[in-house]
Amino acid sequence: MADACNMLSKLHSTLSFCTQSVEDTFHLCNTIQPLRKPNFPHNLSPAPLTIPTERPQTTTISLSNTHNLQKPLKKPVSLSTQDAHLHLREKVLYLESIGVDTVRLISDYRPISSASILDMKSVVGFLESIGILLSDLDRIFGMCPEILISSVSKDLLPVITFLLREVNVLGSNIRKVIIRRPRLLACSVEKQLRPTLYYLQSIGIEEVHKYTSLLSCSVEQKFLPRIQYFREVGFSRKDVEVMVRRYPQLFCYSIKGNFEPKLHYFVENMRRDLDELKEFPQYFSFSLENRIKPRHMLLLENHIYLPLPVILKPNDSQFHRRIEVCIGSSQPLKGSPLWSSGFTENVDISPNSIVCKENTKMLQCV
């Protein structure tokens, strides 16, 4: 971390202002002299003639205001259109040299156009120091362009320190964590990351370093509505906490797009008990159209009943092999040691169904 911290100092260019000494006041001294008396007769002698002189406009610069010339301007002087184009071109060339799609980036996030190229280089240098590759930058900046104009010392370094020290992410895994969820680098540790960490720990999710993507989610807008949904469909609060401990990714799924259609099919078509979902919340991670429905229909056609994990977890070839084994098996009597009633309770199974149970090392069709 010492090496990373040394790279955090930002290079700031300072403007120097030169002041030019000026005279306090320029003025002219007026000299009025009467003309000499001409040698005319006394009675023709005119009165002394005076020629008025016009005072020229004076230029005065107050010394009391010269101290303002030595202060840097509070706002940067706006660049001319030509200068702005040159600076933008310089940034575009730099970003393209490190493999970043500048057309998409600048069109999606306008503030980059006015950002300092020195700040951008500082960000890129810091990311490289923590293991990010140049080939990763297009994805990172494309998903979260705010990172490119962040402050290394105020924004990025605190996040990395938090992940290493409080979330217990291994240094060798930092790159994987950032690539998976770049938005982590744009989150405030105090306002977002740490409160979310405390909430996840409070409901029993201890190994948060395995689910770092959740840290960028809002407790109020993301977690609580999903907990409330499961409560409304019949789960107790304790049941919901058990489910999210077993599968924390539940917090990432859409209520309308995922939970509602899959739960409706589970209850109305598969006619299974909610306790199975408590034991296997990963059900919501599988595609309804591509896996859940086709496999359920195949089981119905062959009058086979399987535990939920056995239906969904195997790949296609493994699943079909198990179906073949079950079809070739005969159904035992209830008094047989192979009979299992655990899968028939609260489930609508036809009398001709073959009930399969999963042993520790193999699947037996009984």
Give the residue from 122, 179, 184 showing the smallest Cα distance to 148: 122
Does the structure show a pLDDT above 90 at 256?
yes
Q: What is the pLDDT of residue 356?
A: 57
Q: What is the pLDDT of residue 81?
A: 66
Q: How far is CA 300 from CA 42, 294, 324, 349, in A?
A: 146, 10, 14, 10
**Tens digit of each residue's pLDDT (9 = 90 or more) over 207-252:** 999 999 999 999 999 999 999 999 999 999 999 999 999 999 999 9
Can you read off the two tokens belonging to residue 239?
């049941």
User: In terms of domains, do 331 and 353 share one?
Assistant: yes
User: In terms of domains, do 228 and 300 share one?
Assistant: no
User: In terms of domains, do 290 and 231 share one?
Assistant: no
Q: Could you tell me where the beta strands, DSSP code E, fall in the chain?
A: 304-305, 354-358, 363-365
Does the structure show a pLDDT above 90 at 313?
yes
Question: Do the domain assignments include residue 322?
Answer: yes
The average pLDDT across 94-114 equals 84
Domain boundary among the residues 280, 297, 319 is at 280
Question: Do the domain assignments include residue 247?
Answer: yes
Does the structure show a pLDDT above 60 at 261?
yes
User: In terms of domains, do 365 and 290 share one?
Assistant: yes
Q: What is the pLDDT of residue 45?
A: 47
Q: How many domains does the chain have?
A: 2
Question: Do the domain assignments include residue 99?
Answer: no
Q: Quote the DSSP letter at residue 72.
A: P
Q: Quote the DSSP letter at residue 60.
A: B
User: In terms of domains, do 362 and 336 share one?
Assistant: yes
Domain boundary among the residues 238, 253, 280 is at 280
Does the structure show a pLDDT above 70 at 8?
no
In 3-state terms, what secondary structure has residue 365? strand
In 3-state terms, what secondary structure has residue 356? strand
Does the structure show a pLDDT above 80 at 260?
yes
Please give the mean pLDDT across all residues of the chain.
Answer: 78
Q: How far is CA 216 from CA 193, 249, 361, in A?
A: 6, 13, 39
Asked if 137 contacts 185 with a C-beta cutoff of 8 angstroms, the reply is no
Question: Do the domain assignments include residue 127?
Answer: no
User: In terms of domains, do 298 and 335 share one?
Assistant: yes
Question: Do the domain assignments include residue 313?
Answer: yes
**Tens digit of each residue's pLDDT (9 = 90 or more) over 154-205:** 999 999 999 999 999 999 999 999 999 999 999 999 999 999 999 999 999 9
User: In terms of domains, do 324 and 340 share one?
Assistant: yes
Domain boundary among the residues 229, 260, 280 is at 280
Question: Do the domain assignments include residue 250?
Answer: yes
Q: Quote the DSSP letter at residue 150.
A: S
**Tens digit of each residue's pLDDT (9 = 90 or more) over 348-359:** 444 455 555 543
Work out the burial of residue 223: count CB atoms within 10 Å of its CB; fewer than 13 is exposed, 13-18 middle, 19 or more buried: buried
User: In terms of domains, do 344 and 365 share one?
Assistant: yes
Q: What is the pLDDT of residue 105?
A: 83
User: In terms of domains, do 275 and 351 share one?
Assistant: no
Q: In which band, very low, low, confident or very high, does the pLDDT at 318 lie, cut at 50, 70 and 90?
A: very high
The range of the structural domain enclosing residue 274 comes to: 218-280
* CA–CA gap between residue 122 and residue 186 (Å, rounded): 16
Q: What is the pLDDT of residue 40?
A: 43
Q: In which band, very low, low, confident or very high, does the pLDDT at 307 lie, cut at 50, 70 and 90?
A: very high
Question: Do the domain assignments include residue 290?
Answer: yes
Q: In which band, very low, low, confident or very high, does the pLDDT at 14 lie, cut at 50, 70 and 90?
A: very low
User: In terms of domains, do 247 and 308 share one?
Assistant: no
Q: In which band, very low, low, confident or very high, does the pLDDT at 347 lie, cut at 50, 70 and 90?
A: very low
User: In terms of domains, do 257 and 296 share one?
Assistant: no
Can you read off the two tokens belonging to residue 262?
């899959």
- How much of the chain exceeds pLDDT 90, in percent? 56
**Tens digit of each residue's pLDDT (9 = 90 or more) over 142-162:** 999 999 999 999 999 999 999
Give the residue from 192, 292, 295, 285 showing the smallest Cα distance to 243: 285
Q: In which band, very low, low, confident or very high, does the pLDDT at 115 lie, cut at 50, 70 and 90?
A: confident
Q: What is the pLDDT of residue 62?
A: 40
Work out the burial of residue 299: count CB atoms within 10 Å of its CB; fewer than 13 is exposed, 13-18 middle, 19 or more buried: buried
Q: What is the pLDDT of residue 16?
A: 37
Q: Which residue has the higher pLDDT, 287 or 36?
A: 287
SS3 content of the chain, % helix, strand, coil (to 5): 55, 5, 40
Q: What is the pLDDT of residue 345?
A: 43
The average pLDDT across 88-92 equals 85
Question: Do the domain assignments include residue 173?
Answer: no
